[in-house]
Structure 1
Amino acid sequence: MAVGTDQLRRDNVAAVLRSLRADGPATRAELAVRTGLAKATVGAIVADLEGAEAVAEGAARAGARGRPGRPVELRGRRHLGLGLELNVDYVAAVVLDLAGEVVQVETRAATPSDREQRLLELARGCLHAHPDARWAGVSLAVPGLVRSDERTVAWAPNLGLDDVDVAARVEAGLAGTAAARCAVRVANDANCASLAELHHGAAAGVSHALYLTGTVGIGAGIVVGGELMRGAAGFAGEVGHIPVGDPEAPCGCGRRGCWEAQIGLAALVPEHLGSADSADPSDPSGSAAADDRSPLALAEDLAAQAAGDPSAAQRLTRLGSDLGLGLTILAGVLDPHVVVLGGYFVPLLDHVLPTARAVLDERLGSRAQVRPELRGSVLGVHAAALGAAEQSLDRLLLDGDLAS
């Protein structure tokens, strides 16, 4: 078979898979209409997909005129994608099947000295838990700038990474596993979380949205016209280090006056995570981690504390104000319909949203500008890993590559 013909066939397979994933089950005739492919072509593709255990035909539809069609639907559990997240104080993994169903979710606390090892242990555990799977890919989300090769972390100050081929490290750690043949892809955590929100969460059906992470670091994923905006070098969304707020507040990146230094978790609960001023210089995370609880657990404790402690309540009001100020700038530039707040912001929504909304309402320049709706993520701390898992399925959904 000629290379051109083979590529065309893979493109057609991908079109059928994407149609089933985006729009749900359909008969072969309906798939032909959806994709614009000939019925005979769709029939041959469906037969091959059945042989690869990627789809199955359901029972004939009752009440249909003529020969009743049998809806084809994705059969997800044979083909899986693995999404990972490496963050300052935790690692996470999500296994996603071809139909978009979450098969497994794991999160572990981590420290600067053991987080890469914990990540690899978590990844290997997920792979071993599904011995019969065909792994479509492995993707890793990190809080930092990722080069266009989708392997090299160009700058991740909270992880102490600077021009490091993190993908190679993960591939070496997965040698000998069922996913050893998969080239690991690396992506920014906020971009991954945005993909998760588009497919599974608070931004579903929204064409213009902004996702804001909430961990030790702060980043954003930008959705324009239903597509993730990556920018000229793929670095769009690095909002944590814009100069908003107290110009003297120290940041984990080594500078002062970053927005992250005002609204990041280390600024909010320095007694647990340490401040940038008091950090151990040998600690590459930029903070002196002293608490192994997750960002969500720390935020939940602070929310409970604010109910009876005026100083804690005042801290959250200030957080809402600083959050609203930065969102005003981003909303003025990007004009999103929706802003999704993720990570540790979620347990604090009742405390910070009223103030953030008031600042947005007051500071946006014109009454004609639409105030974006502020929503909390519903995906939990594993949103970035879930988005990475979505990305790991690209080889099937974009390339139609069903090779085992």
Structure 2
Amino acid sequence: MTGVPTGTEFVRRQNTGLVLRSLRAQGSATRTELARRTGLAKATVGTIIGELEAIEAVHEDDSTPSGRGRPGRPITLTGQAIIGLGLEVNVDYVAAVGLDLAGTVRVVETRALATAGTPPSTRELVELATDVRTALIDGGHTVVGATVAVPGLVAQDNRTVSWAPNLGWTGRELATELEAAFGGSCPTTIDNDANCAALAEAAHGVTTDVQHSLYITGTIGIGAGIVQAGSLLRGGAGFAGEVGHMPIGDPEAICGCGRTGCWEASVGLRAMLSAVGMEEGTTPVQTALTVAARAATDAEVRAALARLGTALGTGVATLAAVLDPAAIVLGGYFVPLGAYVVPAAEAVLAERLPSASIHLPQIRLSSLGIHGAALGAAEQALADVYAGSLPG
């Protein structure tokens, strides 16, 4: 959204956003029903629907004639032509998701990185982003914006990676780099990967039924996305959720941030691989699938994973005592290993959470796969449209 709208323009955008969000959250409705849902005048709704039809964001069923004594025509949010591009860059992969206005995924792609433990460049991310965006445009779609999910701290300008130790990035102006690659025609923002994944779970995954949830990433780094009353909890500087660096891990374990005793140094992907004596694969999920196959026949691997589950549960119990989530979602590499780590984590949570006898949060495994953060980033890229800023 460019500029700050004032007066009637501001009201028009607010009203348009109300209609779009109603159609997305509550489904198809007639103009009369939309007026009732949103509290807007029917004439205002009619004007908004006309504008949305002009950009192919909605479809009004004309198979049933509308008029006195006849049912109104249902209006459906379609939005196939309007796309938000979600991207993720991590230590060993980049991912992209194209999401349309109705919440339908139009494209998904992941590419492995071979950085051999060195900080990744942005070349692979830029190549993936431009390839996917070009394909969408060639297919007749309008890409209204892009959001990149990163495993680290993001400045409040939502454009700069302040600190991402596992990537080796500090103060990187990632949004500017991508916008230059897009030729200045695709507004781009940055957000933390756990925040994006938490939003994706709330909209598409295993926490659509709760208002308060905690998402834990499962990659080389460990982060958290905190959803309270349907919105992200970001904290005073926007850095809430950097739970991987809580000093509750093995006090001798060295973390990627240079400190010792961080939680992710005990429960991150490489800590898990060290515990089971196996090598890293192309992505966290593919790596974990290999470990799960070994665990099925190797008692020592199962025991190592149970110990990891105990360390995971210690951190989860600490967070649950502070945040009181209704559900705790484990993502990334934890998903294929759920059968081996979740029982131990649940046992620690039940033992250490003071309120466990009254309310014990459920530990759930993500259903979104490796693309969860990119999917949430795509939702973020559509935020201005849902606020009423229509593409030109």
Cα 1:352–1:61 shift into 2, 3 Å: farther
Paired letter, 1:324: G
How far residue 183 of structure 1 moved from its aligned partner, in angstroms, is 2.0
2:290 is aligned to 301
Distance in 2 (CA, whole Å) between partners of 1:146 and 1:123 is 20
The aligned runs of 1:160-309 (5 Å cut-off) are: 160-175=168-183, 180-270=184-274, 291-309=280-298
Runs of 4+ in 1 over 6 A off after TM superposition: 61-65, 271-274
2:347 is aligned to 358
The range that moved more, 265-274 or 235-244, is: 265-274
2:315 is aligned to 326
> Is the CA contact 2:59–2:77 (under 8 Å) kept in the aligned structure 1?
yes
Cα 1:258–1:150 shift into 2, 3 Å: same
Paired letter, 2:151: P
Aligned-residue identity in percent: 55
> Is the CA contact 2:270–2:280 (under 8 Å) kept in the aligned structure 1?
no
How far residue 58 of structure 1 moved from its aligned partner, in angstroms, is 1.7
The aligned runs of 1:109-188 (5 Å cut-off) are: 109-110=112-113, 111=115, 112=118, 115-131=121-137, 132-175=140-183, 180-188=184-192
Task: Indicate whether 1:338 and 2:327 are aligned.
Answer: yes
Any idea what the Cα deviations from partners look like across 1:296-326, whole Å, max 9, x if unmatched? 1111111111122222112101111000111
Aligned length: 383
> Is the CA contact 1:323–1:356 (under 8 Å) kept in the aligned structure 2?
yes
Paired letter, 2:38: T
> Is the CA contact 1:89–1:115 (under 8 Å) kept in the aligned structure 2?
no
Distance in 2 (CA, whole Å) between partners of 1:29 and 1:298 is 53
> Is the CA contact 2:281–2:287 (under 8 Å) kept in the aligned structure 1?
no
Instruction: Structure 1 unaligned segments of length 5 or more: list them.
Output: 275-289
Cα 1:291–1:336 shift into 2, 3 Å: closer
TM-score (norm 2): 0.93
Task: Indicate whether 1:19 and 2:22 are aligned.
Answer: yes
2:36 is aligned to 33
Cα 1:149–1:106 shift into 2, 3 Å: same
The range that moved more, 86-95 or 45-54, is: 45-54
Any idea what the Cα deviations from partners look like across 1:181-235, whole Å, max 9, x if unmatched? 2221000000000000000001112111100000000000011122211111111
> Is the CA contact 1:109–1:292 (under 8 Å) kept in the aligned structure 2?
no
The range that moved more, 338-347 or 112-121, is: 112-121
1:6 is aligned to 9
Task: Indicate whether 1:313 and 2:321 are aligned.
Answer: no
> Is the CA contact 2:16–2:48 (under 8 Å) kept in the aligned structure 1?
yes
Determine which of 369, 376, 379 is the counterpart of 1:380.
Answer: 369
Distance in 2 (CA, whole Å) between partners of 1:298 and 1:155 is 26
Pairwise CA RMSD: 2.1
How far residue 59 of structure 1 moved from its aligned partner, in angstroms, is 4.6
> Is the CA contact 1:76–1:101 (under 8 Å) kept in the aligned structure 2?
no
Paired letter, 1:390: E
TM-score (norm 1): 0.91
